[in-house]
Amino acid sequence: MATRNAVPPHHHLPTTHNHRVPVTIRAAYQASTIGQNPHEKPSKKAMKLAESLSNMLNLHIETTIQRSLNRSNFNVLSIEEKHDTPTMSPKEDISEKWREIHGCHDWDNLLNPLHPWVRREIVKYGEFAQATYDAFDFDSYSEYCGSCRYNQHKLFNRLGLDKSGYNVTKYIYAMSHVDLPQWLEKSRLVDTWSKDSNWMGFVGVSDDQESSRIGRRDIIVAWRGTVAPSEWYDNMQGQLEPIGQGEAKVEHGFLSIYTSKRDTTRYNKSSASEQVMREVKRLVEFYRKRGEQVSLTITGHSLGGALGLLNAYEAAKNFPGLPISVLSFAAPRVGNIAFRDELYQMGVKTLRVTLKQDVVPKMPGIVFNESIQRFDDIMGTLEWVYTHVGVELKLDVRSSPYLKKGLNLVGFHMLETYLHLVDGYHSSDSGFRVDAKRDVALVNKECDMLVDELRIPHHWYQLANKGLVRNHHGRWVKPKRDPEDVPSPNVEKSSNVLQVEEDYGFGSLFGV
């Protein structure tokens, strides 16, 4: 984790020739001989002592100035100058190293210090996860509350991800049979697009140019999470329940969201599990037939990270030999030790990005978690103990000079906070990196984490006029969505699709 007193990257540390007045040897000598004869010629020994004294004083002055800069207000002019610089570095060709970057050696020697190629990939997938928030209709007055505001063909274009090198191919909808927490509340209106389902993410695939750069055809799945940990914490503390045929168990609420379906719904006649697996299967088969190397990368934040692990488990069961990696942010624990071990045995690689101040990665099982394994010899292996999966990259709010240091549970959990810290992270014993590129203003999209000196409004990300527009009479009204952006129900399953599911066993793994 980075040190606390990092100097803002727009500052340059003072040097001996232009930012301070050095204490000269003669001045140091004069200071050390106060009260003595001023006309007496200094001895070599006295001058040597004076030289040492001047070096000590200069070091003290430089240290004091540096500490003062660390504590001082930001140089607003320097920050404004930063606005004219790119927000990302040029993309490198990683085609020869993609397996290492995606964890074939468990990211050994790549996280501390953080390799720049790994940093770029983490941010790339994190921005896919962030897209599931930015495009989600949270407006409880909207008749489309709980849907994506844009259709899949213009999602990335509307969110500024059109240069990502990926295309969205499928939207994922989910519901739950457990008691619905606030984040699944529907519109306040009676007539809504769906009373049961929510948009939970998307499936995408790299285009030809990006595939050439990264060395394979990459299928992505991005899962949406929750806005605040308190919204689902009390609802998702249920019991562990079996998954698959072995001893693996996962948290009941997460599994319910992933596997629930109902014939009477428009969007969840098939579960999120079935939707995503059907699309992944289609893409894997299509590109393998073309002789291409294919990978599956799953990303998600908070609850999305939990759903991502369930997705990886199912994909590994159904596609042996397919390289699968999970890049999660602020993800809670999902299952027990047997669940973790099965993922390891199937070759799933997981990199968990966590924040020291965020409470969600400590849930569920704040008490009964993997730390209790030290008592295995006495108590035996406990099937009901929650445990994390994979390698951890742990961040610290205190490493960034741009972030407030007070208690802010919502801000600590926000994905934009994580992405800012990843972009600035170099190693556990160094400060916030000087050449961080990502726009710092993004941190305050949905929270109040940036220091006031930056003058970035908090919670600034919203539709103009909160979605209201003037009609032809000049009255402020809720606009109608373009027909292409109105959610469309999933296509009814044909007999051929049902036969494919039966042949491949999709759904049977989870008893749905």
Q: Tens digits of per-residue pLDDT, 415-461?
A: 999 999 999 999 999 989 988 989 999 999 999 999 999 999 999 99
Distance CA 205, CA 510 (A): 26
Q: Answer with the residue of higher pLDDT: 75 or 211.
A: 211
pLDDT of 73 higher than 90: no
Q: Tokens 């927490």 label which residue?
A: 181
CA angle 488, 490, 496 (to 5 degrees): 145
Decide: 442 and 459 in contact? Cβ < 8 Å. Answer: no
pLDDT at 54 over 70: no
Of 178 and 126, the one with more pLDDT? 126
pLDDT of the residue at 196:
80
Q: Which of 134, 196, 358, 423 is catalytic?
A: 358
Q: Is the dihedral of CA 434, 438, 440, 444 positive or negative?
A: negative
- Please state the φ and ψ torsions of residue 106, each to the nearest 5 degrees: 55, 35
Residue with the two structure tokens 């992270």: 425
**Band of residue 48 on the pLDDT scale cut at 50, 70, 90:** low
Tell me, what DSSP letter sits at residue 372?
G
The string of DSSP letters for 164-202 reads SSEEEEEEEEE--SSPP-GGG---SSSS-S-SS-EEEEE
Q: What is the pLDDT of residue 143?
A: 86
CA 306 to chain centre: 13
Can you tell me the mean pLDDT for 11-16? Answer: 34
Domains annotated for the chain, with CATH where assigned, are 98-395+463-510 (3.40.50.1820)
Residue showing tokens 């995408």 = 204
| Residues whose CB is less than 8 angstroms from the CB of residue 36 and which lie 6 or more positions away in sequence, other chains included | none
Tokens of 477: 């009204």
Which of 102, 301, 388, 413 is an active site residue?
413
User: Taking residues 216-234, what's their average pLDDT?
Assistant: 75
Which carries the bigger pLDDT value, residue 203 or residue 239? 203
- Report pLDDT for 277: 98
Question: Could you give the CA distance from residue 468 to residue 167 in angstroms, rounded to a whole number?
Answer: 30
Which residues have a Cβ under 8 Å from the Cβ of 176 and sit 6 or more positions away? 184, 253, 256, 257, 260
Confidence band (pLDDT; 50, 70, 90) for 486?
confident
User: Quick check: 412 and 398 in contact, CB under 8 A?
Assistant: no
Residue 206 and residue 214 in contact, taking contact as beta carbons nearer than 8 Å: yes
Top-ranked range on mean pLDDT: pick from 9-13, 22-26, 119-123: 119-123
Catalytic residue (choose from 197, 302, 325, 400)? 302
Interatomic CA distance for residues 508 and 512, integer angstroms? 6
Q: Which residue has the tokens 């205190």?
A: 398
Q: Sorting pLDDT into bands at 50, 70 and 90, what band is 43?
A: low
CA 466 to chain centre: 26
pLDDT value at position 79?
Answer: 63
Average pLDDT over residues 126-132: 97
391 confidence band (pLDDT: 50, 70, 90): very high
**Burial group, residue 380, by CB count within 10 angstroms (0-12, 13-18, 19+):** exposed
Res. 414: pLDDT tops 80: yes
Confidence of residue 264 (pLDDT cuts 50, 70, 90): confident
The widest CA-to-CA distance across the chain, in whole angstroms, is 108
Could you tell me where the DSSP H helices lie in 37-137? 44-71, 76-82, 98-101, 116-134
Residue 77: the pLDDT is 44
Q: Are 389 and 338 in contact (CB under 8 A)?
A: no
Query: Mean pLDDT, to the nearest integer, of 152-164?
Result: 95
pLDDT at 31: 44
> 15 falls in which pLDDT band (50, 70, 90)?
very low
CA distance 430 to 1: 7
For strands 469-470 and 476-477, give the pairing: antiparallel
Residue 12, pLDDT score: 34
Average pLDDT over residues 39-52: 62
* Bridge partner residues of 295 (DSSP): 218
Per the annotation, the verdict on 358 as an active-site residue is yes
- What is the per-residue pLDDT for 369? 56
> What is the torsional sign of CA 302, 304, 307, 308?
negative
H helix runs in 171-328, sequence order: 208-214, 230-233, 252-259, 272-289, 303-318
Residue 49 has pLDDT above 60, yes or no: yes
79-88, 100-109, 216-225, 470-479: least confidently modelled range: 79-88
3 secondary structure, DSSP code: -
- Mean pLDDT score of the chain: 80
Q: Which residues of 333-352 are buried (b: 16+ CB within 10 A; e: fewer)?
A: bbbbbbbbbbbeebebbbbb
pLDDT at 34: 42
State the pLDDT confidence band at 33, using cuts at 50, 70 and 90. very low
High-pLDDT (> 90) share of the chain, % = 55
Rounded to whole angstroms, what are the CA distances from 218 to 12, 96, 378? 41, 15, 45
pTM (whole model) above 0.85: no
Question: From CA 441, how far away is CA 252, in angstroms rounded?
Answer: 37
